Amino acid sequence: MYQALSMLPIKSYSQNQFAAVQEACAYFFPPKQIFDISFLRNIDRSILDDVCLRKKKQVQRIIKGRKQGGSQDKAIYYHEKMRQAYVLLSSAVNGDFPEIKSDSGPKIIAVGGSKGGIGKSMFAANVSVFLAQKGFSVIAMDLDLGGANLALYLGEKYILDRTINDFLKKKYPSLEDIIIDSSYGPKIIGGDSSELGAANIHHAQKMKLIRAIKGLDADFIILDLGGDTSFNMLDFFLLADHGLVITTRDSASYIGSYQFIKTALYRKINRLADHLDDAERDLDPQLSTVLKKCTVANGQPMSQTIVSLLDRVAENDPFDLPQVLKSIIGFKPHLIVNRAPSLLQANQVAHTISDLAKRYLSVRIGCPGHINKYPEIEDNLSNNAPLVARDPDGKLAGEISVIVTNIGL
């Protein structure tokens, strides 16, 4: 029997390559197949050429005005993008697919979760110290606007001379002006939650802050977030190159972590509807309406799964599918189980969450490692130095090292 030689070696792809393949597939295949790894793996030359020919004919009929119901302008744009997608998939099928480099500039890592008290700040502080010990320049930033305490976890005083509030209130013109040094390696941008309403920054302030964070000069910027799913917190999480979600093993925490991942993804799609991201092309107002209906409850049921959401997009206008899909792929949060006595127990939680995310959100969650429960952290009454600074070769440093390696930082 004929056996196709060239199929997509999905397993050997980096995250960037995989995302590029999925994005290209959005021009040819329905949503369900784009998230189906075994389907993608089986794409060969004949499947590709076949589907491309069929799609090309459909789009050309719209361009030539022979088919009603489609916009010619959109079809011309789609036709060109489809050609580019074909070229990419074609070289992938030939086994000739170069690595896609990530953008240069600082790597932004957000540490989030749905609740307070689960170890976000502890982890953010220790991972910052760990990376600084390795020789990287690190800025640890406290974005828990309502409960700022990251500086404390880094061994500094609770009340700082300069904080984010000073930047937001224009006392200092740039974020660089409020950076302070710390004793254990990372630099700090601290918060101050002592003022009523400090957490409720408005949209323009948030956008200003996001732009300033992206412009900071460092190897790593670690964002310690508050434990809620407000739009502000989700937008800070989405700004990162790597989103880390912390959970503990109790059910309220890990179910909350799934909800956090879900709301972050829906917010990502919702941002598209609100034109908050730099889009290649203006969004169709009709698509905007569909996306809002699918992502925000407003008394109506939202889409239960991402595939059903994408199906609704495609029903409205198949030409919109790649643009929406582009905002979804590449969303790969990492789940870190804190206070877990063993890898086995951490994995039970991680599997539950990653199964749910795969089934309902079509999202692959990374589970790069876990953190044990440490009496040295829990009962730390006198020594304020982060544990990784106190014991650079200790067990916590080892666990963080595994996490950092598995994420590929």
Ligand X SMILES: Nc1ncnc2c1ncn2[C@@H]1O[C@H](COP(=O)(O)OP(=O)(O)O)[C@@H](O)[C@H]1O
Would you tell me which residues interact with ligand X (CB under 6 A)? 113, 116-122, 227, 338-339, 371, 373-374, 377-378
Tell the smallest beta-carbon distance from residue 194 to ligand X (Å). Answer: 17
Cβ closest to Mg ion, residue 20 vs residue 151: 151
Interacting residues toward Mg ion by CB under 5 A: 120-121, 144
141: which strand partners?
A: 189, 223
Cβ closest to ligand X, residue 122 vs residue 328: 122
Cβ closest to Mg ion, residue 226 vs residue 322: 226
Cβ closest to Mg ion, residue 95 vs residue 117: 117
Q: Choose the one of ligand X, Mg ion, none that binds residue 256, judging by a C-beta under 5 to 8 angstroms depending on kind.
A: none
Tell the smallest beta-carbon distance from residue 253 to ligand X (Å). Answer: 10
Q: Choose the one of ligand X, Mg ion, none that binds residue 377, judging by a C-beta under 5 to 8 angstroms depending on kind.
A: ligand X
Q: Choose the one of Mg ion, ligand X, none that binds residue 360, judging by a C-beta under 5 to 8 angstroms depending on kind.
A: none
Specify burial of residue 47 (Cβ count, 10 A radius: 0-12, 13-18, 19+): middle
Beta strands in 155-264 (DSSP E): 187-189, 220-225, 242-247
Residue showing the smallest CB distance to Mg ion in the complex: 121
Tell the smallest beta-carbon distance from residue 188 to ligand X (Å). Answer: 15
Specify burial of residue 15 (Cβ count, 10 A radius: 0-12, 13-18, 19+): middle
Alpha-carbon span 88 to 290, nearest angstrom: 30
Cβ closest to ligand X, residue 84 vs residue 383: 383
Alpha-carbon span 234 to 389, nearest angstrom: 30
Tell the smallest beta-carbon distance from residue 136 to ligand X (Å). Answer: 22
Here the tokens at position 159 are 């009340």
Cβ closest to ligand X, residue 35 vs residue 254: 254
Q: Choose the one of ligand X, Mg ion, none that binds residue 339, judging by a C-beta under 5 to 8 angstroms depending on kind.
A: ligand X
How wide is the angle at C-alpha 154 spanned by C-alphas 149 and 158, nearest 5°? 40
Tell the smallest beta-carbon distance from residue 149 to Mg ion (Å). Answer: 6
Largest CA distance in the chain: 78
369: which strand partners?
A: 336
First-last CA distance in the chain: 45
Specify burial of residue 377 (Cβ count, 10 A radius: 0-12, 13-18, 19+): middle
Tell the smallest beta-carbon distance from residue 340 to ligand X (Å). Answer: 8
Q: Choose the one of Mg ion, ligand X, none that binds residue 122, judging by a C-beta under 5 to 8 angstroms depending on kind.
A: ligand X
